[in-house]
Amino acid sequence: MSTMNLNRSQDEAELEAEFQRRIDNEEKIEPKDWMPEAYRKNLIRQISQHAHSEVIGMQPEGNWITRAPSLHRKAVLLAKVQDEAGHGLYLYSAAETLGISREELIDALHTGAAKYASIFNYPSLSWADMGAIGWLVDGAAIVNQVSLQRTSYGPYARGMVRICKEESFHQRQGYHILMTLMEGDERQRKMAQDAVNRFWWPSLMMFGPHDSDSEHSGQSMTWKIKRQSNDELRQKFVDQSVEQAEAIGLTLPDPDLRWNEERGHYDFGEIDWDEFYSVIAGNGHCNRDRVAHHRRAHDEGAWVREALDAYENKRAAARTA
């Protein structure tokens, strides 16, 4: 190794050591700070996946805006879908601070290079699904995202503060839909139970594979991008969901679900990991439809982006003149 390469390696090692020291001391990393390239790429992967999930997640709920059972329910659902669009905006903006463009992020989604939460590849078949998605899907998101308010990257952590507040509203909205249905007639109660039966296991899959099988989990924990492991977060979600389900008379579809006094947690059955990996590989019920719909909307909105660019160019020219 040449002297120049040796010095470069030593400098790099010192920078990485200082970087890890800041992480260990709970200092936030900001966009202009030095960071390892692997840290930057890991963040882009996680934040963009999170952003894509928020935006793709608008589709199964947007499908029910015109079919909501009352004007009040329609207004609430419309507000929720609008919130999800805002969450995507916050997260895309945070990803852009890492040196990647919005166009690159969207292109990665359209080509399949970037993923989004597997849960959104399941169809929403009834109004009760709006309750199950709000209670279970947004509930799982909150469990994961509360810890992300303390993630090591500053723009991501700050964006999560507002997102978590709004997700809490979404979770309560979904729970209220199910609670109302469970207070109705037999047909309505069956509808609520059916929705929970279909969304329970996909909700557990949202936390990702077991920690031992996760490609990125270990390094993300070292860099404090993630603050809790996949399995820890999944257990927390199960523990809180059992009591919430019992309170309104719902049954969670897991025959192995029972309280473990020794562990102080609920034991639960094994996830169908073959299904999980099949869905994230693009073979879910709605994978192709979700991406095709997003691509079509993106193409149809091109004129808006072009108009904004023209307006900004005109303003810049005026300032220069």
Helices 302-320 and 287-300, packing angle to 10 deg: 40
Q: Answer whether residue 59 shows pLDDT above 90.
A: yes
Q: Among 224, 302, 199, 292, which residue's Cα sits nearest to residue 43? A: 224
Kindly state the percentage of the chain with pLDDT values over 70: 97
Tens digit of each residue's pLDDT (9 = 90 or more) over 161-210: 999 999 999 999 999 999 999 999 999 999 999 999 999 999 999 999 98
Tokens 């809490």: give the residue: 168
Tokens 């992967």: give the residue: 45
49 pLDDT tier (thresholds 50, 70, 90): very high
Tell me the CA end-to-end span of the chain in Å, nearest whole number: 54
Kindly list the distances between the CA atom of residue 258 and the CA atoms of 209, 269, 273, 287, in Å, as whole numbers in the listed order.
22, 10, 21, 33
Q: Is the dihedral of CA 300, 302, 308, 311 positive or negative?
A: negative
Cα–Cα distance measured from residue 142 to residue 267, given in angstroms and rounded to the nearest whole number = 21
Check residue 176 and give left, alpha or beta (phi > 0: left; psi -120 to 50: alpha): alpha
Give the burial class of 186: count Cβ atoms within 10 A of its Cβ; 0-12 exposed, 13-18 middle, 19 or more buried.
exposed
4 pLDDT tier (thresholds 50, 70, 90): low
Helix extents (H) in 25-101: 37-56, 58-62, 71-96
User: Which pLDDT value is given to residue 13?
Assistant: 87
Tens digit of each residue's pLDDT (9 = 90 or more) over 224-263: 999 889 999 999 999 999 999 999 999 999 999 999 999 9
Tokens 């992480």: give the residue: 23
- Average pLDDT value for residue range 282-309: 93
Q: Which two tokens stand for residue 181?
A: 């249905």
Cα–Cα distance measured from residue 102 to residue 88, given in angstroms and rounded to the nearest whole number = 11
Angle at 88 between CA 83 and CA 91, to 5 degrees: 125
- Average pLDDT value for residue range 32-48: 96
User: Which pLDDT value is given to residue 289?
Assistant: 95
What is the largest distance, in Å, between two alpha-carbon atoms of the chain?
80
- Average pLDDT value for residue range 54-70: 95
User: Which pLDDT value is given to residue 3?
Assistant: 57
Residue 260 in 3-state DSSP?
Answer: strand
Let me know: does 217 contact 197? Beta carbons within 8 Å.
Answer: no
User: Which pLDDT value is given to residue 171?
Assistant: 95
Cα–Cα distance measured from residue 4 to residue 14, given in angstroms and rounded to the nearest whole number = 15
Cα–Cα distance measured from residue 121 to residue 282, given in angstroms and rounded to the nearest whole number = 9
pTM to 2 decimal places: 0.90
Cα–Cα distance measured from residue 172 to residue 104, given in angstroms and rounded to the nearest whole number = 35
Helices 102-111 and 71-96, packing angle to 10 deg: 110
Tens digit of each residue's pLDDT (9 = 90 or more) over 100-146: 999 999 999 999 999 999 999 999 999 999 999 999 999 999 999 99
Q: Answer whether residue 8 shows pLDDT above 70.
A: no
